[in-house]
Structure 1
Amino acid sequence: MKEQKDARLAEAMTVYGDYLVRLCYTYVQDWAVAEDVVQDTFVKYYEKMEQFREESSVKTYLYRIAINHCHSYLTSWRYKKLQVIDSWSKLMGNSIDPASELIANEEDALLVAAIEKLSTKYKDVILLFHFANFSLKEVSQALYIPENTVKTRLRRARQMVGLTLEEGGFEYGSNS
């Protein structure tokens, strides 16, 4: 039994580990924290493996756990404290080179910023669909919402991101 659990965990870590780290990074914007969140995700998966009813895929199950851990982290005191410290450091001039930071990858930064502005319900859908390459059905299963709700939220999220990018002087999807 334990050998089977260990084998299932090892397989899940091999198959989904990198994807989960990238997904978590889109939420927490820190590679070390993203790796910690993924580690916690796999620990929880291992602990709850017997309770997994296989109503969805292991991929969907792991992504749901990871997203929940990301949400918990983003609402934690630790994260809020780090944000205050980071903001203070930038105000005090400890930033490397603000001009270079601003110019580098401007379009990518604007896209990330536009996605970051979305409320959680829209951000979850757009990240899972576009960045984790989930199908509509998998997003529906991961978020415990109807597939039509996923479609609606995805459409609205794209519209909001597009409007934010247009306000910033960029057309959504252009290379200008």
Structure 2
Amino acid sequence: MENVLQNVATDDQEVVIHELMNQYGQQVLQLAFTYVKNKEIAEDLTQDIFVKCYKALSTYNGTASLKTWLWKIAMNHCKDFLKSWYNRNVSVTAEEEQRGTAKELVEQAVLKNETDDELIAAIMQLDVRYREVIYLHYYEDLPLRDISTLTGHNINTIKTRLRKAKALLKAELEG
């Protein structure tokens, strides 16, 4: 990572983006998938995210880690996509949603190499604000303070969302 930071300083942007894609590409894809629940859309978003990073690399000032900077761009891009998608599309009926759920569960299991399909299904049913906290805390091992910085929410809000997400998951898995 030290070499990447040196390349940022020397304006070798192509090398930096290549290194970021190699190091974080799969994680960014997984993050995007937690937002959109669709592998193809997540792949498109991941490409868009790295294009945005390439264009914004000159604005990186080093106050946060490169990973934190990348995550912030990724999360904002996914949220922007969801906002624009919601405004462009008619709401899906419950029947259509149920038909898509089985396919999404299979894609999620393959994408994350997880064996616990029931847990994945429960996580993917959570509202995005809860999925986001669960993903960042448990799958990316980020401390709550870093999640607070990434999302722009107060740490107490993050704690509340994590607690609520765990309660919702518990109810879903036990129910």
Cα distance in 1 between the residues matched to 2:59 and 2:155: 24
Equivalent residues of 2:144, 2:159 under 8 A apart: yes
Cα distance in 2 between the residues matched to 1:70 and 1:88: 20
Letter of the 1:57 counterpart: S
The 3-state SS of whatever aligns with 1:12 is helix
TM-aligned CA deviation for residue 45 of structure 1: 0.9
TM-aligned CA deviation for residue 123 of structure 1: 2.0
Q: What's the TM-score once normalised by structure 1's chain length?
A: 0.71
Alignment of 1:61-100 (within 5 A): 61-75=69-83, 76=85, 80=89, 87=96, 90=99
- From 34, 39, 45, the equivalent of 1:37 is 45
Letter of the 1:12 counterpart: L
Letter of the 2:80 counterpart: S
Indicate the percent of aligned positions where both proteins have the same amino acid: 32
Cα distance in 1 between the residues matched to 2:86 and 2:154: 32
Structure 1 residue ranges without an equivalent (≥5): 168-176
Letter of the 1:162 counterpart: K
Deviates more, 1:3-12 or 1:115-124: 115-124
Cα distance in 2 between the residues matched to 1:112 and 1:79: 28
- From 164, 169, 173, the equivalent of 2:172 is 164
Q: Please give the per-residue CA displacement for 1:37-64, whole angstroms capped at 9, x wherever unaligned.
A: 0111111111111222333222122222
Aligned match of 1:126: 134
Cα distance in 1 between the residues matched to 2:24 and 2:69: 11
Equivalent residues of 2:35, 2:128 under 8 A apart: no
Cα distance in 2 between the residues matched to 1:7 and 1:88: 42
Cα distance in 2 between the residues matched to 1:58 and 1:130: 20
Aligned match of 1:170: none
Cα distance in 1 between the residues matched to 2:174 and 2:98: 31
Aligned match of 1:56: 64
Structure 2 residue ranges without an equivalent (≥5): 1-8, 110-114
Q: How many residues get paired?
A: 155
Equivalent residues of 1:23, 1:132 under 8 A apart: no
Equivalent residues of 2:45, 2:78 under 8 A apart: yes
Aligned match of 2:153: 145
Letter of the 1:49 counterpart: L
Cα distance in 1 between the residues matched to 2:91 and 2:116: 23
